[in-house]
Amino acid sequence: DAGVIQSPRHEVTEMGQEVTLRCKPISGHDYLFWYRQTMMRGLELLIYFNNNVPIDDSGMPEDRFSAKMPNASFSTLKIQPSEPRDSAVYFCASSFYTSQETQYFGPGTRLLVL
């Protein structure tokens, strides 16, 4: 069982560039979550999907952020244009039955925007 897979693991980019983060959830999981973790704000939920449909995107900071889930095995989080304050670790997680149950986290993508 491969677990949640995220790529890239590290990303360094310059302000204004587009950044795309990728996630493959655990097979058979109905829910997929995108989180952002910073020292100042802790772990924040950005958006989550149920059966590929976005359910709650109230945590998405602004229009520069967008997320898609074109199929059950793939999701992207895109930041365009990126800003230094977007620097953080971005986690993808998935869960089986409901959004309240155990969530399985990927290893994260460490993003640095210069």
Partner 1 sequence: SQQGEEDPQALSIQEGENATMNCSYKTSINNLQWYRQNSGRGLVHLILIRSNEREKHSGRLRVTLDTSKKSSSLLITASRAADTASYFCATDARRTGANSKLTFGKGITLSVRP
Is residue 88 close enough to count as binding partner 1 by CB under 8 A?
A: no
* 17 contacts 36 by C-beta, under 8 angstroms: no
Build a one-symbol-per-residue string for 12-41: x at contacts with partner 1 by CB under 8 A, - elsewhere. ---------------------x--------
Q: Are 34 and 77 in contact (CB under 8 A)?
A: yes
Residues numbered 56 to 85 that lie near partner 1 (CB under 8 A) are 56
CB of 88 to partner 1, least distance (A): 14
Which of 67, 106, 61 has the alpha carbon at shortest distance from 85?
A: 61
Nearest distance from residue 78's CB to partner 1, in Å? 21
Q: What radius of gyration, in Å, describes the C-alpha atoms of the chain?
A: 13
Q: Which of 88, 91, 94, 111 binds partner 1 (CB under 8 A)?
A: 91
Q: Does residue 2 interact with partner 1 by CB under 8 A?
A: no
Beta bridge partners of 1: none
